[in-house]
Structure 1
Amino acid sequence: MGPAETAPLLAGHEPHGVPPDSLASSLQQSPPSLSTPSLGPPTGSTHPKRLLSFWDGLALVLGLQIGSGIFVSPALVVRSVGSESTALLIWVIGGTLAWACAACYVEMGTRLPINGGPQEYLAYCFSDLFGFVASWGCIFTVKPCSGAVLALSIAEYACDALALVPEAGSGTPSSDRYLKTAALLVIALVTAINCAGNHLSNLSTKILLACKVGGVGFVIIMGFAVLVSSHISSSPTVAANVEPVSPDLGSYTDALLAAMWAYSGWETLAFVGGELQNPHRNIPRVINTAMVVVVLLSVFSNIAYFSVLSFDEIVRSTTIGLTFSEHFLGRAGGVAYTALICLSSFGTLNVKTFTAGRLTQAAAERGFLPPIVMTVANQGRDGSNNGDNGDNTDHRSVSSRSSCQAPLRQRMLGTFQRPLRFQDGTIPFSAIIFNSLLTCIFVLVGDLRSLISFIGIVEYWIVFLTLVGLLSLRFFPTPDQRTQTVTMPIFKVPVIVILVALLALGFMVILSIARHQLAGIGFMIFCVGSGVFHSFFIQPRGSATREVSRSYVD
């Protein structure tokens, strides 16, 4: 990657080495021009403090990437392409494409080290309309759909291992009813953990990450042991009782989407970059380290599956991890290993809930959602202001502001939140509850395959627009973007990487819409509807209210 360059100076950001007090006094003497575009929520809004270290960030990304994907996607990929060797190639291509997209997000993250992810990037590069549609796309589809897929996969593994549901995964009404009920209970538990505070959430993330690595490590070690010892011979490429697959371009797209879903999670730091310590140094380190680990683990895990299981077992199994473990550990051991898989997937859902809350919080601060959604717990149980940044800005949450004059419903909400305001005081309580409710809705109305297809269409359309914005910011900046600069390190991606990623993502989205027409129609309706809603109900904000608080920077 290229050397450091001049990066955009967001309104309200101090250059490195300039004390905050000096910057504040200079801003008071020379107020910013109303024509100066800037990012982020209005001045005086509540922002989480930078509490996440490099290892916290790495645990977040790995915790989101290493999850149910490696225990669900292999069967979907093989089922789509009809060959183990082709499936391995799909996993390599998917990992390379995910890494390219992650590198582009790293450059955007080091240019704009704030919370909110694509909604902030697109609002800065294009307009509030693009940021609004991307924000709603993530909040109302990508994040809750992903959480629903994870919750359903946990429920399916648990019910299959314990034989709680007859014909689990068969799609019958009775089995679906039990699976969805179990998935709703999983969502309720992970929501409670995240509402308990960042420290508890971070601790559970690291503990569950150890379970994830242990579970995937077992698959890799046992699979390669089989390869070396040859005690279990590999089955033929196509079993006799499996109908041969004749994949077309759409089938390869479905396989790539399934692999990319297993790799998803590299965008995590875009949503919590404002909470990462020293983001210009740690964001590239976290992403590159995580991608190396995850791509290697995914490829080796698939080799292990193909070494032990027949093609027939892989294609027909809805819980490939359980089927794999039973070859070595028997039924009882398979149940124990399934518990490890469920913990792994639960850790991924925990991280998704964490980042979804931050994304929703940033959207509400921009006015994209009702103010009640951006309620942030800022006070400890002793009543002290743990979120104080050393200035006189009122950083209290919406629910705690003017509580005596607030409506009864708002005062009741504030009372309910008060016991959950733990150590760091930066819990986006209302945003977490809001996203969890959306996740429950998708659990009730969807299934694994349909949800993964819909996620791919919406998510990679947003990534495509973000990469276009990166090119425009680098080569065609507006006069205001060009003048708002300060020297700081920037992680630069070669142009060829951006162009190849754009081409691949464009084909993926178009082919997916053509193959899954119902999901494509829903996607089109969502885009048009959210754009119309923004035009009629979202009041354009003057740039004077679009400053980024200096609490976003170190």
Structure 2
Amino acid sequence: MNEGSTGARMESQNCSTGHSVDYQAKDKQHVKATVLQKDVGLFSGICLIVGTMIGSGIFISPKAVLLYSGAVGPCLLIWAACGVLATLGALCYAELGTMITKSGGEYSYLMEAFGSIAAYLYSWTTVMVLKPSSFAIITLSFAEYASTPFYPGCTPPLVVTKCLSAAAIFVIVIVNCLSVKLASYVQNIFTAAKLFIIVVIVGAGIVMLAQGRTETFSNAFEGSSSSVGTIGLAFYNGLWAYDGWNQLNFITEELKDPYRNLPLAILIGIPLVSVCYVMVNVAYFTVMSSTEVLLSPAVAVTFGDRVLHPLSWIVPLFVVFSTFGSANGSCFTAGRLAYVSGRGGHMVKILSYISLKRYTPSPALIFNGMLTICYIIPADINTLINYFSFAQWVFYGLTALALIVMRFTRKELHRPVKVPIVIPGFIVLVSCYLVLAPIIDKPDLEYLYCAMFIFSGLLLYYPFIYRRVNWARKLMRPITMHLQLLMEVVPPEKTE
């Protein structure tokens, strides 16, 4: 599909003289190629991982793990085990990311290992549903906590929450379209803010422990669940809070020295989050009993009311900061996946274009933002996420399997990082378990609907990607050209 580059030449020839001269002048002024620039260093990479992983979950509702594990002891063990699993999975991604230094995360790896169809089904599901709906849920959490102080004693009106969520989406998309460095600065600032409140909670918990507040930890394993399916659901909810450990692989092309910084950011960022999660849960249990944790609508807020009373308002304030930073990281990486999918011919070509002035994938970012706005309109999209999130672990398992497959089929590839093959094998088994556990425990038809949606993408794949019907290309060419002129974007230059 070469109409993109053809369109770029058409614009220079067919547009007004003013546009043509302007573009030529810009080409002379800029020495940088029109590609995504390597503006993300080690510190920003760590902040992207930490800032995307730590959203609202650890502050609002860690009770799901406690509910399914049945007691405090196994609850804390599961939080720690989830951190180990996330680290092992990220190590697999470190090998893949340093072996295939392309942005797009799983999309690029599935393409190399299994070919076009597997990569397309991943991009179809993730670009159209998983990324924008997750972005929507994070911004809705942000809006709820940001608006609550203005409606004391009652729930904020739904229209206010949704309008504030839409405003947050608009601001985040604009920031990411303007500059990669600006988006990185925003991510760094909000990551520092959420780490600050975590330090405050952990510090208060240590003080409580020193004062002998250990009642909840006595008989910590009493009432533990012995059901394999229930324990699986506890892990499932814990790993949902850890989700985001693979975010850096979506922007590999923008990393400075990815061979060094990718694995180093993973080995620093994910253990840091794991320690934070375990210590925060310990702090919660120094103040609240298991029953009180299960009954609390927002555990961190209840903790703040009891321990930080004169300054308890800082907890919901920093939850707002945390969710905004997590939403920024989600938008940053989602745009890169849409960009790479467009570049690979699995999405419309305009999504692979780059801003001539800003060097950002602005069409892909705007497209993700528009989808996200659509997802905040329904009354409740949490159900959608709950049923589609099992698909995420299907792709995690396939990606780990891709690593194993390429050990035999792509032996010639340079591997600066090489993990023992038993690790991706273990991740494949865990993924199978996590996909099957919720379905076996509660076999709802919604899982079938999700599977049908995923494979329905093949109805578009065959005519438009495999067969490349001419009328579709003719229809898209003028649309692409006008959007290109409107947004001042161009196809990425080939640097190889």
Is the contact made by 1:77 and 1:259 (CA closer than 8 Å) also made in structure 2? yes
CA change 1:233–1:248 in 2 (3 A) is: closer
CA change 1:445–1:245 in 2 (3 A) is: farther
Residue of 262, 270, 286 corresponding to 2:241: 262
Which one-letter code corresponds to 1:376 in the other structure? I
Q: Distance in 2 between matches of 1:446 and 1:292?
A: 36
CA change 1:517–1:373 in 2 (3 A) is: same
Structure 1 segments unaligned to the other structure (5+ residues): 1-44, 169-174, 239-243, 380-424, 542-547
Higher alpha-carbon deviation: 317-326 or 265-274: 317-326
- The yes-or-no answer on 1:77 pairing with 2:43 is no
Structure 2 segments unaligned to the other structure (5+ residues): 1-32, 469-491
- The yes-or-no answer on 1:186 pairing with 2:168 is yes
Aligned residue in 2 for 1:41: none
CA change 1:549–1:266 in 2 (3 A) is: farther
Q: Distance in 1 between matches of 2:306 and 2:359?
A: 46
Identity of aligned residues (%): 28
For residues 423-472 of structure 1, the C-alpha deviation after alignment (integer angstroms, 9 at most, x for no partner) is: xx221112112112222333333647524423531211111111111111
DSSP 3-state at the match of 1:47: coil
- The yes-or-no answer on 1:365 pairing with 2:343 is yes
**TM-superposed deviation, 1:550:** 6.4
For residues 59-113 of structure 1, the C-alpha deviation after alignment (integer angstroms, 9 at most, x for no partner) is: 1111111222311341222233332222112212211111111111111101101
Which one-letter code corresponds to 1:296 in the other structure? V
- The yes-or-no answer on 1:512 pairing with 2:468 is no
TM-score, structure 2 length as denominator? 0.82
**TM-superposed deviation, 1:269:** 1.5
Is the contact made by 1:52 and 1:275 (CA closer than 8 Å) also made in structure 2? yes
**TM-superposed deviation, 1:214:** 0.2
DSSP 3-state at the match of 1:67: coil
**TM-superposed deviation, 1:188:** 2.4
Aligned residue in 1 for 2:44: 56
Residue of 437, 442, 467 corresponding to 2:375: 442
**TM-superposed deviation, 1:265:** 1.6
**TM-superposed deviation, 1:179:** 3.5
DSSP 3-state at the match of 1:304: helix
CA change 1:307–1:161 in 2 (3 A) is: farther
Aligned residue in 2 for 1:323: 302
Is the contact made by 2:133 and 2:381 (CA closer than 8 Å) also made in structure 1? no
Residue of 189, 194, 202 corresponding to 1:207: 189
Aligned residue in 1 for 2:252: 273
Aligned residue in 2 for 1:8: none
Q: Distance in 1 between matches of 2:366 and 2:232?
A: 34
- The yes-or-no answer on 1:354 pairing with 2:332 is yes
Q: Distance in 2 between matches of 1:446 and 1:133?
A: 27
Aligned residue in 1 for 2:455: 528
TM-score, structure 1 length as denominator? 0.73
Which one-letter code corresponds to 2:386 in the other structure? S
- The yes-or-no answer on 1:225 pairing with 2:158 is no
Is the contact made by 2:388 and 2:450 (CA closer than 8 Å) also made in structure 1? no
Aligned residue in 1 for 2:230: 251
CA change 1:145–1:466 in 2 (3 A) is: same
**TM-superposed deviation, 1:46:** 5.3
Which one-letter code corresponds to 1:429 in the other structure? S
Which one-letter code corresponds to 1:427 in the other structure? T
DSSP 3-state at the match of 1:48: coil
Aligned residue in 1 for 2:292: 313
DSSP 3-state at the match of 1:184: helix
CA change 1:285–1:107 in 2 (3 A) is: same
CA change 1:69–1:525 in 2 (3 A) is: same
Q: Distance in 2 between matches of 1:250 and 1:442?
A: 31
